[in-house]
């Protein structure tokens, strides 16, 4: 399996440096701009997203990717005029090798993502439909992978003591597959999140923080036996925005893929983040 596929899977299976001091429990009326703490998107100014529990730009405009063999790729993200994601193409030597497309319902509450890990395949690898409640937050995610359906219910945290949402994953007929359980630090950031059914842990995510923001995340399937854990290390600018990710396949301390983000399509204003389409 190539480092490219492992990196794609690591970034796609996400739950989302020194900076200014951040309040531990901001009042409910506060909406933070880039770099501020968050539990969900509604803690951030309009146009921003809560990524890795920090208010950030919704997605990079373009990504430059280099693996440990020196191979280079580019991922080009697409947005509509409102700054909503429309997908991306990952390109190598002029050829699209992976693709993701997003479509939105008229009211903006339902989005459907189709992802191809192999663009030679006419059918997408997986299809994900996200339904949002009246507050705009995702309440239900339905994923179809090779005909297998799973549905994930999101219960967003109303506390700053532990900012992680609670996830409940069900399969055919509503059968419980797993639920998430989190341990958090003094800033409300996760230390460990496990997805389990009873005591049977299917996935474990461990986190390390730096400057009151998530700095590393490691994913392990069926821990501790997973032979291919993946560690992500986030590079941030002085605001706290993620400007790059280093991928350590096998979590052995070596960096296998480096991603560098271009954020120039976003304009930061006092009360909002605006998308600036290329001219």
Q: What is the mean pLDDT of residues 107-120?
A: 97
Q: What is the mean pLDDT of residues 15-38?
A: 62
- Could you tell me if 179 and 197 are in contact, meaning their C-beta atoms sit under 8 angstroms apart? yes
Q: What is the mean pLDDT of residues 202-212?
A: 98
**Domains plus CATH for the chain?**
3-275 (2.40.160)
C-alpha span between 183 and 68 (Å, rounded)? 33
Q: Is the pLDDT of residue 92 over 90?
A: yes
What b/e sequence results for 94-133 when a residue is b if at least 16 CB atoms lie within 10 Å of its CB, and e otherwise?
A: eeebbbbbbeeeeeeeebebbbbbeeeeeebbbebbbebe
pLDDT in tens, 117-148: 999 999 999 999 999 999 999 999 999 999 99
pLDDT of residue 28: 52
pTM higher than 0.85: yes
* Percent of the chain whose predicted confidence (pLDDT) is above 90: 87
Q: What is the mean pLDDT of the chain?
A: 91
Q: Give the number of C-alpha atoms closer than 13 A to the C-alpha of residue 210, restricted to the C-beta side.
A: 13
């Amino acid at each position: 399996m190539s480092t490219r596929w492992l990196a794609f899977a690591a970034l796609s299976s996400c739950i989302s440096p020194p900076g200014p001091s951040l309040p531990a429990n901001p009042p409910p009326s506060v909406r933070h701009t880039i770099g501020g703490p968050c539990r969900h998107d509604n803690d951030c100014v309009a146009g921003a997203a809560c990524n890795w529990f920090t208010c950030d730009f919704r997605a990079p405009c373009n990504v430059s990717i280099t693996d440990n063999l020196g191979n280079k790729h580019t991922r080009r993200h697409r947005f509509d005029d409102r700054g909503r994601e429309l997908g991306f193409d990952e390109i190598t030597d002029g050829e699209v090798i992976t693709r993701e497309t997003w479509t939105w319902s008229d009211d903006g509450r339902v989005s459907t993502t189709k992802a191809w890990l192999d663009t030679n395949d006419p059918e997408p690898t997986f299809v994900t439909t996200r339904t949002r409640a009246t507050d705009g937050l995702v309440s239900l995610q339905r994923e179809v992978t090779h005909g297998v359906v799973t549905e994930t219910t999101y219960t967003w945290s109303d506390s700053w003591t532990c900012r992680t949402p609670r996830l409940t994953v069900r399969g055919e007929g509503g059968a419980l597959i797993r639920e998430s359980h989190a341990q958090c630090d003094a800033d409300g950031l996760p230390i460990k999140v496990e997805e389990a059914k009873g005591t049977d842990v299917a996935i474990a995510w461990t986190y390390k923080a730096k400057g009151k923001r998530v700095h590393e995340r490691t994913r392990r399937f069926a821990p501790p036996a997973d032979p291919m854990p993946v560690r992500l290390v986030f590079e941030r600018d002085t605001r706290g925005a993620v400007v790059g990710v280093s991928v350590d396949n096998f979590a052995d301390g070596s960096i296998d893929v480096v991603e560098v983000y271009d954020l120039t399509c976003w304009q930061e204003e006092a009360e909002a983040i605006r998308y600036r389409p290329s001219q």
